[in-house]
Structure 1
């Protein structure tokens, strides 16, 4: 299967409200349409995760990020410009996303991916994509496809073929919270 076919099939499933497993710029992820609350609920169920613990979103560009944050602070752009590894920013003022994806304080974690497969997937889907590590809550993140629990593979609607053969170390993203009033908190280095 070509990468193009793989992405086309994944997008088809996402548009129907399905849940996919896919390689990201960090670890393997469970993904769905970040604007579809039913799909987001399924991701929480698959991970066996309390829905009070927020999930993050993946987007392909600065422009797409701005569709989901009321006002992106200048410090966020500066931070994203200087990061040399995948970095998720938690920003206030989340909009146009599923309610069960937005934290109680109105914030959401979002990352602009530069990795070719996930970037193309986000571009073709034309929406934010939920991106949470492909593991049962509390278990180690799946760095590579063989690390994914079979229960998760069985629970999703589509498993991407791209990068399944890969065997190399991957780490979750850094996470930095930026508030509208300028406070910066490093959640995960």
Structure 2
């Protein structure tokens, strides 16, 4: 099993480095993703999913150290909040850096989640950069909990997709979302 995971990580990273779109399990749901800093790949992701630019897009990172590469000034409370969360938590931070412009909101904020899924964490560590994800236009009530829920027309456009055996360790539910602004501003967006 470990050899299969290592092989899958290498294949996913190769596809990401080549600007490809991949389908993989996260700690919440299956997601379509690409290199968050590659504008052409991000535009391709937007085209494939049909989502509006930056709507429903989340950066995935393996740890808080990587968050600092993408945020101008990380609020002091951020690390404590991430460590205290016992469920997947996406945090919206102000002043994004080093990502394609389509990934940020109009106010230049960006949503980031530190993942805990074993495959996803290994892939992100090996890639060394954030992956931006999008769920294929699903609503909050209809997230793709299973690999099979992704449309064949979508998967035909991907450079790589994970084997469903890698999904162990995910919840099948969307993450909680919180906004952390400068000066201690905290807003719960979704519980």
Once the two structures are superposed, what CA deviation does each residue of 1:67-114 show, in whole Å capped at 9, x if it has no partner?
Answer: 101111112112111100010000011101111111111110001111
Identify which of 41, 44, 49 aligns with 2:43: 41
- Any residues of structure 2 matched to 1:4-83 within 5 Å, and which? 4-51=6-53, 53-83=55-85
8 A Cα contact 1:94 1:107, kept in partner: yes
- Partner residue of 2:149? 147
State the secondary structure of the residue aligned to 2:77.
helix
Pair 1:102–1:165, CA change in 2 (3 A): closer
How many aligned positions are there? 188
Q: Give the aligned CA root-mean-square deviation in angstroms.
A: 2.0
Q: Which runs of 5+ in 2 are unaligned?
A: none
Is the Cα–Cα contact under 8 Å of residues 46 and 136 in structure 1 kept in the other structure?
A: no
| SS across alignment from 1:155 | coil
Residue 184 (structure 1) aligns with? 186
Any runs of at least 4 consecutive aligned residues in structure 1 with deviations exceeding 4 A, and if so which? none
CA positional deviation for 1:164: 5.7
Partner of 2:137: 136
Normalising by structure 1, report the TM-score. Answer: 0.92
Consecutive unaligned residues in structure 1, runs of 5 or more: none
Structure-2 residue corresponding to 1:89: 91
Equivalent residue number for residue 163 of structure 1:
165
Alpha-carbon distance in 2 for matches of 1:114, 1:164 = 13
Counterpart contact for 1:69–1:91, Cα < 8 Å: yes
Is contact 2:54-2:103 (8 Å) kept?
no
Q: Residue 123 of structure 2 aligns with which residue?
A: 121
Q: Which moved more, 1:139-148 or 1:67-76?
A: 139-148
In the alignment, is the contact (CA less than 8 A) between 2:138 and 2:144 conserved in 1? no
Structure 2 CA distance for aligned equivalents of residues 52 and 86 of structure 1: 20
Partner SS, residue 77 of structure 1: helix
